[in-house]
A = this chain, B = another copy of it.
Amino acid sequence: MQRRRFIRQLTVASAALGGGLLAGCRDRQDGAEPAAVASKKQYRWKLTTTWPPNFPIFQEGVQRFAEDVKTMSGGRLSIQVYAGGELVPALQSFDAVSQGTVEMGHGAGYYWAGKIPAAQFFTAVPFGMNAQGMHAWMYAGGGLELYQEVYRPFNLVPFPVGNSGVQMGGWFNKRIDSVADLKGLKMRIPGLGGKVMAKAGVNPVLLPGAEIYTALERKTLDAAEWVGPYHDERLGLHRAAQYYYYPGWHEPGPMLELIINLKAWESLTDDLRLIVQTAAIAINTWMFAEFEARNHQSLRTLREQFKVQILEFPPEVLRALKRHTQEVLDEEAAKDATFKRVYEAYEKFRREHDAWAEISEESYARARKL
Contact = CB atoms under 8 A, between A and B. Distances in A.
A356 B68 contact: no
| Number of copies of this protein chain within its complex | 2
Contact of A361 (B28, B166, B319): B166
Interface string A149-183: 00000000000000001110000000000000000
A135 B359 contact: no
A265 interface: no
A135 B292 contact: yes
A204 to B, nearest CB: 19
A80 B32 CA distance: 11
Nearest to A229: B356
Interface stretch (A212-220, A268-276, A336-344): A268-276
- The interface residues of chain A, by DSSP majority, are classed as helix
Interface in A7-54: 10, 22, 25-26, 28, 30-31, 33-34, 36-38
Interface string A339-370: 00000000001001101100111111111101
A366 B26 CA distance: 43
A61 to B, nearest CB: 9
Q: Which of A38, A141, A353 neighbours the largest number of chain B CB atoms within 10 Å of its CB? A: A38
A289 interface: yes
A146 interface: no
Nearest to A22: B71
Interface in A118-168: 127, 130-133, 135-141, 165-167
A81 interface: yes
Given A38-B74, A71-B271, 14 more contacts: A72-B271, A72-B274, A130-B364, A132-B165, A136-B293, A139-B286, A139-B293, A140-B292, A228-B360, A247-B359, A249-B364, A285-B285, A299-B359, A322-B367
Contact of A292 (B127, B248, B356, B363): B356
A260 B315 CA distance: 51
Interface string A224-257: 0000110000000000000000111100100000
A187 interface: no
Interface string A294-324: 1111011000000000101101001100100
Contact of A70 (B34, B300, B313): B34
A292 B136 contact: yes
Interface of A: 2-3, 6, 10, 22, 25-26, 28, 30-31, 33-34, 36-38, 56, 60, 64, 66-68, 70-75, 78, 80-81, 127, 130-133, 135-141, 165-167, 228-229, 246-249, 252, 270-271, 274-275, 277-279, 281-282, 284-286, 288-290, 292-297, 299-300, 310, 312-313, 315, 318-319, 322, 349, 352-353, 355-356, 359-368, 370
